[in-house]
Chains A and B, each alone.
Chain A
Amino acid sequence: MNAVSEPLSLQNLDITDTDLYVQQGYPWSAWDLLRDKAPVFWYQRPRHEPFWAITKHADIGYISRNPDLFSNAQLLRLSDVETIRIGQRGRVRNANRYGGSPDDPPDFIFMDPPEHRHHRSAVTRHFTPRAMKRLEEHFAEMAENYVSRFANTVVEELAAKGKLGLVDVVHELSAKLPVAAICEMAGVPEEDWEQIFRWTESLVGAGDPEFRRPGETQEQTMRRNSGEWRRYNEHLVTQRMKDGFGADILSTLMQADINGYQLSPREISSYFTVLVAAGNETTRNSTTGGIKALLDNRDQLDRLIAEPELVPSAVEEILRWTSVVIQFQRTATEDVELRGQTIRKGESVVMWYPSANRDEEVFDAPYTFDIGRDPNDHFAFGGYGEHFCLGAHLARWEMRAIFHALLPVLPTLELASEPELVAGSLHVGGIKRMMVRAAG
């Protein structure tokens, strides 16, 4: 961005500088301007390969419904050229070490139909509403437990330090249920949850020096991390082979019949990593952002306390409001006409989900936080289609349990700091810390 006084324009707007995200939060006004003036915009900035910025709900919906026109192979998440280079070196290294080609999909999200469908369907039964229904009471119990420990911590801090007694929502509350739920489902023993959490945190946060070891570069952190993951996964697989299969996702993956063949150890490892990371690095941030939204909008909090049956609807609004996943990328497989622009075969499109979730053509008063919003067709889980978030119901059920348990606690809290965003991440709006204290 140039001089502060310069008004925002298509020439100077910036939606890719991660430092700006950390300093100013999401670039809402840039997205507003794009939706208004150039919803299919050829974006060219230093440190990035050019791409079409897609900011309207309807266009993201169209791209998501047409995986034959917009492919997931190769580029999946927009990153700066340096991060892309690191990723390419990693692919070459892995191919040399484990066989296969550097062009092989790193995990099943990089696949297109029909392959993607075969791989994805191996585990869908673990994530359906029917499966979640069976876990509902268990989640409610865990949520009550985590929330009451969190509330006790707030009270203890108040007793010990008064107004200076601050508690971090992210680590003391928001992180707990997502780790527990996905690890239990995946088949990770409880003594390893803490380690799993640190891995997923630094997987997504490798661009932030806070998640690196002293002296490590981003690339070294990523390499160490993926090596540790892989060894841990091999250990779990060996364990299963010794002790027998269970009802967990790892057992499902090891026994999966994918159109007549079995997943290789490397595929099992990458599949497992995707599920555990996606389960950890999203819901945590929506929960933290939702707590902030309710503390910032006391009228909505009062309404939710008066009408707790609104919790599911409030969760949908929190998902829309926080829009934790920032973007996914696709590559056009042929020339496509969109709003008068021609997207050429081979060109890249980037779908900006938070922008779709403020689209005034879809949401009345999009910048109002309304826990009763209906309809609420947000794209917090991506556009509807082939790659819609597999864990959407898991996230919903977890958040319903947490916010239900939080209802009596929220009015006793006040925000002590704004959320601190993870640096260097253009994919997930990760929150490192958000401090609260006892209100009053």
Chain B
Amino acid sequence: MKAVVDHSLCEGHARCMDNVPEVFEVRDDDRSYTLIDVIPEELRAKVERAVQTCPRAAIKLED
């Protein structure tokens, strides 16, 4: 499973980074970046929550 952030939507609200700092990092350009390519199973629930609670609905999961 992979998380993809749509940078045309992302504005750096940083909810994803608050939820899963292991996976998401908001950088100085106010965009969120993924730190790991393949999301380990134990983080799945947290990443799904990050997807659900992104204020801009900017994160998608890909298998």
List the interface of chain A (C-beta within 8 A of B).
Answer: 64-65, 114, 117, 121, 124-125, 127-130, 375, 377, 381, 384-386, 388, 392-393
Tell whether, in the assembled complex, residue A128 and residue B13 are in contact, meaning their CB atoms are under 8 Å apart: yes
Check if B2 is an interface residue, CB within 8 A of chain A.
no
Option from B8, B12, B30, B52 in Cβ contact (under 8 Å) with A117: B8
| 28 sampled A-B residue pairs with Cβ under 8 A | A64-B57, A117-B8, A125-B30, A127-B11, A128-B11, A128-B12, A128-B13, A128-B14, A129-B12, A129-B13, A129-B26, A130-B12, A130-B26, A375-B53, A381-B55, A384-B53, A384-B54, A384-B55, A384-B56, A384-B57, A385-B56, A386-B9, A386-B56, A388-B13, A388-B55, A388-B56, A392-B13, A392-B55
Number of interface residues of B (CB under 8 A): 14
Q: In angstroms, how far is the closest chain B Cβ from the Cβ of A163?
A: 45
Query: If A125-B30, A130-B30 touch, does A117 touch B56 (CB 8 Å cutoff)?
Result: no
Please measure, in the bound complex, the distance between the C-alpha atom of A271 and the C-alpha atom of B13, giving whole angstroms.
Answer: 21
Please measure, in the bound complex, the distance between the C-alpha atom of A392 and the C-alpha atom of B12, giving whole angstroms.
Answer: 12
Tell whether, in the assembled complex, residue A124 and residue B11 are in contact, meaning their CB atoms are under 8 Å apart: yes
A-facing mask of B40-55, CB < 8 A → 1, else 0?
Answer: 0000000000001111
Please measure, in the bound complex, the distance between the C-alpha atom of A124 and the C-alpha atom of B13, giving whole angstroms.
Answer: 10
Please measure, in the bound complex, the distance between the C-alpha atom of A209 and the C-alpha atom of B54, giving whole angstroms.
Answer: 40
Residue with the greatest number of chain A CB neighbours at <10 A, chosen from B9, B11, B52: B11
A131: nearest chain-B partner, CB-CB? B30
Q: Which of chain A's residues have a CB closer than 8 A to the CB of B13? A: 128-129, 388, 392-393
B53: nearest chain-A partner, CB-CB? A377
B18: nearest chain-A partner, CB-CB? A129
B27: nearest chain-A partner, CB-CB? A130
Please measure, in the bound complex, the distance between the C-alpha atom of A130 and the C-alpha atom of B56, giving whole angstroms.
Answer: 17
B11: nearest chain-A partner, CB-CB? A124
